[in-house]
Amino acid sequence: MKRYRIGVLTSGGDCPGLNAAIRAVVCSASLLGWEVFGFIDGFEGLISPVRYQILNEEDTQGIISLGGTILGTTNRGRFTTKTGIGEVMRLPAHLIDEVKETLEGLGIGAIICIGGDGSLTAAQQLYEEGVPIVGVPKTIDNDLSATDYTFGFYSAVEFVCRSLDRLRTTAASHRRVMIVEVMGRYTGWIALYGGLAGGANLILIPEIPFEYSKIAYQVRKRIAEGNFQTMIVVAEGARPKEDPYYVVEEGKERPGEPRLGGVSRQLERVIHQMTGQDTRAVVLGHLQRGGEPTAFDRNLGMMFGAAAVGLIREKRFGYMVSYREGKIGSVPILEAIKELKKVDVHCPEIQTARAMGISFGEE
């Protein structure tokens, strides 16, 4: 008798915890007697030339601690649906038809998409066209609606925190202003959590536009109080009040989704000009996405993977697993992708930072 088959793929940017989710999918499906096909390089593996590997418990033994994804991934290619903030493209009909043909030809009854906002937007469009699919949220940015946390986030925050610990000693030795630029795109979750845990003096996030003059004032104030080093964490999507545009990495002003980056260099020049202090910028970049996952992200990834198999068993296609108030649940994918989850400027983390005298560059 032919075993029930499901597929799993990882799509979008890599992050710690992906392999933990894959492992949980394989183990949970195996207990049900199901066969798991892992598609290579995200949705691209579903179309010609079709690329996959059959996964079993032995193949995935020991991968929980590994960063990245054993299946490979891509955030570029033919399944790109997000082209900017709130801008969505429809997948071409021939791609959707080819995906259906692949699944039918391999006898796959459902597929699990592990991805972020863009990948889940593609998953939603496939579901609307009759593809049985469920979602698992992952992104270090933690910007997906309908879930409190995504795996990969805390691993990125941990790296930011450790980086600040290291940079503080060199900043103090040279009496410098040290600016640390972190990922997060249009939201400030990584900057907020990493900056707070790492003891930053200023945290600049997209949700609170900053003023150069206020930042310079905080630096001069610290010097007057005898504090000759200042640690600033800035999200790549942070912007000054007077500038409505995001800073885009030089040479990357391409159409579609821009590659943010460079705001720390801009701050470096302006702060030095306004205060005279030796100022240095450090861009953490993809270091935040690599490396082994924290225990929290391993556990969350496994809980999400197991729950995704449960959604398939219940035939709840078009749903995404979620984590809310300490419980694993599910929500329609459409609900999760309808808007970015931004930092609430009145949240406890912001209130804690303000109570401790941490500036957000607007006071």
168 annotated to a ligand binding site:
no
140 annotated to a ligand binding site:
yes
Neighbours of 169 (CB within 10 A): 10
Three-point CA angle 301, 303, 307, nearest 5°:
115
148 annotated to a ligand binding site:
no
Q: Which two three-digit tokens encode residue 285? A: 């970049």
Q: How far is CA 34 from the centre of its chain?
A: 30
361 annotated to a ligand binding site:
no
In whole angstroms, what is the distance from residue 234 CA to residue 164 CA? 12
141 annotated to a ligand binding site:
yes
- Annotated active-site residue 141? The verdict is yes
- List, in sequence order, the alpha helices (H) in 240-315: 263-275, 295-313
354 annotated to a ligand binding site:
no
In whole angstroms, what is the distance from residue 123 CA to residue 133 CA? 7
Q: What is the phi/psi pair of residue 210, to 5°?
A: -105, 170
184 annotated to a ligand binding site:
yes
175 annotated to a ligand binding site:
no
In whole angstroms, what is the distance from residue 26 CA to residue 31 CA? 9
- Catalytic site residue from 14, 41, 59, 141: 141
173 annotated to a ligand binding site:
no
51 annotated to a ligand binding site:
no
Q: Which two three-digit tokens encode residue 85? A: 């903030």
Active site residues: 141
Bind-site residues: 13, 76-77, 116-119, 139-141, 176, 183-185, 236, 280, 286-289
Bind-site residues for ATP: 13, 76-77, 116-119
Bind-site residues for substrate: 139-141, 176, 183-185, 236, 280, 286-289
